[in-house]
Amino acid sequence: MSFTRRQILSATTAPVGIALAQRAFAANDNIQIALIGAGGMGQGDARMATSIPGVKLVAACDIYDDRLQRAKELWGDDIFTTRDYREVLRRKDIDAVIIGTPDHWHSRISIDAMNAGKDVYCEKPMVHKISQGREVIAAQKKSERILQVGSQYASSPMFQKARELMSAGAIGELNMVEAWLDRNTAIGAWQYSIPPNASPENIDWDRFLGYAPKRPFEPVRLFRWRNYNDYGTGLAGDLYVHLLTGLHVVTGSLGPDRIYGTGSTRFWKDGRNAPDVMLALLDYPKQAAHPEFNLNLRVNFASGETEELFGFRFYGSEGTMEATINKVVLSHVPRETEPGYTIGAFSKKTQEEILKQYREKYADNPLARVLKADKVETFEAPKTPAAHEIHHQNFYQAVRTRKPFFEDAVFGFRTAGPALLCNTSMYEKRICHWDAVNLVEKA
């Protein structure tokens, strides 16, 4: 079956089927899934999913035939394969889908899948454009399907531990956070392999483009799509979303209200129009019990290091906490409450009077003390399972129990929205404002 570009775009605006009644799963029932977008991340998600007892992959969809062949090599010749995701959604034997497509297809396929009665595991970011977020939220609410965004930091035991420590006041009052994710490799900078057999015969180019601007066949745009804003969301959508996910888990915050982003292409001058260095400052207001603080974000694809660097540093009034997906290090520093004194510019008589009054009130001289951590604690994650595996376990548990995991469409938009506004700020050279409660960009 073949379609023109106009047919593809018009078809995706209509529901693909009538929502199915929610299936009740017995403890030994298989959850049958389909993979939509069978590239590297999609295949990785499917491998992780099918390692979970009771989860079976029965279909795969991709616009490149070679990936469909690879799916059969991995999961058996009997799986159903197609270039058209709508054929997958029409199948009654599929309970849930993994969406591992380029970003510009995430919201459309998620909405169509939920309307067809499927639960959805959608890779981050949940949306390609701010305008798509509320549509996905509405579709999840109306369909009552499970939707979980694939940012596994939400399931990391270390971020749960950091949240526990933060809630207990381990570092006092939070005032600032630094978060970074740097790389210094070609693959880390999205320089993925381009297969020599890539051609219009084995790639459905129009279906890949979707609503993106029409262009002649150009394989680099498919296999390195993250480098191009027509299909990807750059550093912000790929990596800021991960960082914001971890941050929101630890602090419980809903999101920032003021966003400034900047960046450029410093090293990877390979035709991409997404930057390889990006910085952002975000102001988080006080929201109910959640603290007010400032966030500094950084991603650098030419960091000068030999391996990927990732981390958070939470600064509080009584210490700091560093967190990664594998470890949390807590340094507690007692808050200095004695005011000290500055008397050198006064006469000797006045100095003596101030010192006498000071020593009567305070036991010692705080200026003679060196402030240092009185307690350093390290918490390490277990070797297995990894956060990515736990994240998939959480999704399929939600599918079975019909109790959604917290990284649903609302949570997903609360991380994707501010991340995309970092892009807007950078490209439009302006400060952006975000309403994290009502999930809209403010004027």
Angle at 123 between CA 121 and CA 129, to 5 degrees: 115
Question: At the top level of CATH, which class does the domain 5-151+394-401 belong to?
Answer: alpha beta
Angle between helices 241-251 and 157-167 (to 10 degrees): 40
Report DSSP letters for 187-225, one per residue.
TTTT-----TT--TTTB-HHHHHTTSPP----HHHHHTG
DSSP-derived secondary structure letter, 53: T
**Predicted local distance difference test score (pLDDT) of residue 20:** 42
**Predicted local distance difference test score (pLDDT) of residue 305:** 74
Token digits of residue 45? 């998600």
Report DSSP letters for 284-352, one per residue.
EPPBTTBPPEEEEEEEESS-S-SS-EEEEEEEETTEEEEE-SSEEEEEE-PPP-S-----TTS-HHHHH
Domain with CATH 3.40.50.720 in the chain: 5-151+394-401
Architecture of domain 155-201+216-335+370-386+404-442: 2-Layer Sandwich (3.30)
**Predicted local distance difference test score (pLDDT) of residue 361:** 81
C-beta of residue 397 within 8 angstroms of C-beta of residue 54: no
Question: pLDDT below 50 — which residues of the chain?
Answer: 1-21, 367-371
Among 224, 315, 314, 330, residue whose Cα is nearest residue 274: 224
Token digits of residue 184? 């210094």
**Predicted local distance difference test score (pLDDT) of residue 336:** 67
Do the strands 309-316 and 174-182 form a parallel or antiparallel pair, or are they unpaired?
A: antiparallel
**Predicted local distance difference test score (pLDDT) of residue 364:** 56
Cα torsion angle, 238, 246, 316, 161, sign: negative
Secondary structure of residue 36 in the 3-state scheme: strand
DSSP-derived secondary structure letter, 403: -
3-state helix/strand/coil string of 218-231: CHHHHHCHHHCCCC
**Predicted local distance difference test score (pLDDT) of residue 337:** 66
C-beta of residue 114 within 8 angstroms of C-beta of residue 120: yes
**Predicted local distance difference test score (pLDDT) of residue 80:** 98
**Predicted local distance difference test score (pLDDT) of residue 369:** 46
**373 φ/ψ angles, rounded to the nearest 5 degrees:** -65, 130
Domain with CATH 3.30.360.10 in the chain: 155-201+216-335+370-386+404-442
**134 φ/ψ angles, rounded to the nearest 5 degrees:** -70, -25
Q: Is the peptide bond before 385 cis (omega within 30 degrees of 0)?
A: yes
